[in-house]
């Protein structure tokens, strides 16, 4: 979906790799089996620090993914309601303003807003998501239902994760 989104995908992949690495390390792997264990382990061992040059905090890394999930959930729900020949840029900008924008400085917000102008129409987004192989059933209804279900599941995951971060007073990690 464009060069800017390749950067976003790369960033997400790097964050996931950090978390996967922690689950495989012999000395701390068991402490990363669940979100609850990870948070408790990192709090007890003062690993929530900002100094990323040594070892990025798993809780901080996951918090960034958590925030992105909120955007994805909102975006998928709104796109599921669009007509096939409507653009997705305005929807993306609105969802971004309600979610991720509050965590980004001005220059990132402006860059993201400009990048969203490159987003395709809904039908193009669907074709790309399905790698050109949209199911032959009632395409629009099937795809809209799939997007809607994905958004609802993502929202449930977001809510559960958000609750845990809130209980541990970690929603504002720098």
- Going from N- to C-terminal start, the domains of the chain cover 3-50+59-165
Check residue 102 and give its pLDDT: 93
Q: Are 62 and 150 in contact (CB under 8 A)?
A: no
Mapping DSSP to helix (H, G, I), strand (E, B) and coil, where does residue 169 land? Answer: coil
Contacts 24+ apart (CB under 8 A), 22-29: 22/58
Check residue 50 and give its pLDDT: 67
Single pTM value for the model: 0.86
Q: Are 100 and 67 in contact (CB under 8 A)?
A: yes
Q: How far apart are CA 171 and CA 174, in angstroms?
A: 9
Check residue 5 and give its pLDDT: 66
CA 86, 9, 162, 148 dihedral sign is positive
Q: Which helix (H) or strand (E) holds 172?
A: none
Q: Are 138 and 60 in contact (CB under 8 A)?
A: no
Token pair recorded at residue 44? 């007890």
Query: What residues contact 89, with CB distance under 8 A and at least 6 apart?
Result: 116, 117, 118, 119
Per-residue confidence in pLDDT tens, the chain, 174 aa: 555 567 778 889 999 999 999 999 878 899 999 999 999 999 998 888 766 567 889 999 999 999 999 999 999 999 999 988 899 999 999 999 999 999 999 998 998 888 888 888 998 888 887 777 666 555 678 888 989 999 999 999 999 999 999 999 999 988
CATH fold, domain 3-50+59-165, is Glycolipid transfer protein, GLTP (1.10.3520)
């Amino acid at each position: 979906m464009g060069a800017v989104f390749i950067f976003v995908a790369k960033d997400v992949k790097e964050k996931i790799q950090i978390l996967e690495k922690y689950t495989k390390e012999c000395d701390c792997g068991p402490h990363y089996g669940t979100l609850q264990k990870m948070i408790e382990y990192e709090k007890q061992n003062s690993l929530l620090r900002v100094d990323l040059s040594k070892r990025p905090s798993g809780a901080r890394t996951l918090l960034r993914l958590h925030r992105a999930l909120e955007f994805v959930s909102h975006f998928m729900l709104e796109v599921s309601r669009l007509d096939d020949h409507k653009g997705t840029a305005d929807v993306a900008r609105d969802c971004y303003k309600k979610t991720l924008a509050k965590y980004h400085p001005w220059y990132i917000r402006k860059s993201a807003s400009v990048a969203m102008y490159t987003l395709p129409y809904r039908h193009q987004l669907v074709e790309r998501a399905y790698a050109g192989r949209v199911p032959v059933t009632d395409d629009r209804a099937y795809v809209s239902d799939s997007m809607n279900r994905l958004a609802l599941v993502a929202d449930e995951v977001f809510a559960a994760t958000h609750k845990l971060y809130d209980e541990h007073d970690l929603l504002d990690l720098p």
